[in-house]
Amino acid sequence: MPDTIITDYFYGDESQQFTYFRIPRLLITSPRFRHLSVEAKLLYGMMLDRMSLSVKNEWYDEDGRVYIYFTLEEICEDMNCGRDKAMKLLAELDTRKGVGLIERIKQGQGKPTKLYVKRFTTREIPPQPEKQPDPPMPPQEVDFADVQTSDFPTSRGGFIRHAEVEETDPSYNNINQTDFSHTDPSIYPPAPSARRLEMDRCDQREKIKNQIDYDILRQEYPYDDVDSMLELLVDVMTNTASTIRIGGQIFPMETVRQRFSQLDKEHIAYVIDSLRQTTTKINNIRAYLLTALYNAPVTIGPYYSAAVRHDFP
């Protein structure tokens, strides 16, 4: 028998080999969705997976509904298809042209389209089990209320209730449609109180302003740059998720908060200066800034040391 090799660590993309997309069973078994292509069903499962990212980023509309961002370019890349095929898959799922599993809301002004991923039901009534005959009722004249078999009573009197009073509605747990009941709170969590979130953000915003010398930064750098950094810090420090993705890796939220609590005026200035000098096109500016802010306490020293050596060889 060959030896079993057990490695101690995951390397590279091995850490994602046990991550799966979930596709509701009804998309496969229900006649309502038989005409839906397999690629469209897979795309719907990928959209469900993105719901957890929306919760982490607190992407809720004014009614507390969760939405996602999934651009046409991202769909083409993930599905390995062209734009025409990606648009056809979206049309299959759309409320206007397809089965109504998603709703697309265009924002205009170069902003990405919001996607609402919808729940669904087939309204099919599951088969009911055969009703069992009622148990025979005891003779009504039998009364055990005054019967006691020992000096100390061991239970309540033997009052006989009618069978129709004792019978309760069966739960039919063996046929519940649990495959699409959304028992995972990470996909459809209750929306947090808007008032509580706003109060937390206000308190945290004032704290961060003092931490980074906000007023001084506003005098040295453009208003938009400083306020963008401020709001991004507030987003992270008030985020209720347990983890956050930075630089392609998942970190515990508490670890990131501790690192961000070390940031000061010099770190923010360093990130703004670095961003100005970047000539490469940045596709996801939020992810780029999160990574830069997280790494700032570690990289700021070597950065300025290298700059000094360059200016004064």
**Residues 186-236: tens digit of each pLDDT:** 444 545 555 666 677 888 899 999 999 999 998 888 878 888 889 999 999
Residue 180 covered by a domain: no
- Report the CATH number that the domain containing residue 30 is assigned in CATH: 1.10.10.10
Residue ending a domain, choose from 121, 137, 157: 121
Which residue segment(s) compose the domain that 279 sits in?
A: 194-311
Q: By mean pLDDT, which of 5-9, 115-119, 138-142, 198-202 is the weakest?
A: 138-142
Q: How many CB atoms lie within 10 A of CB 34?
A: 9
How far is the C-alpha of 209 from the C-alpha of 265, rounded, in Å?
10
pLDDT band at 99 (very low <50, low <70, confident <90, very high): confident
Residue 240 covered by a domain: yes
- Percentage above 70 pLDDT, the chain: 65
Residue 177 covered by a domain: no
Residue 135 covered by a domain: no
Residue ending a domain, choose from 98, 121, 144: 121
Residue 141 covered by a domain: no
Residue 186 covered by a domain: no
pLDDT for 142: 43
Span 234-274, pLDDT tens digits = 999 988 889 999 888 899 999 999 999 999 999 999 898 88
Between the ranges 14-18, 76-80, 279-283, where is the mean pLDDT highest? 76-80
Examine the domain organization and report whether 27 and 115 are in the same domain: yes
The count of structural domains within the chain is 2
Residue 46 covered by a domain: yes
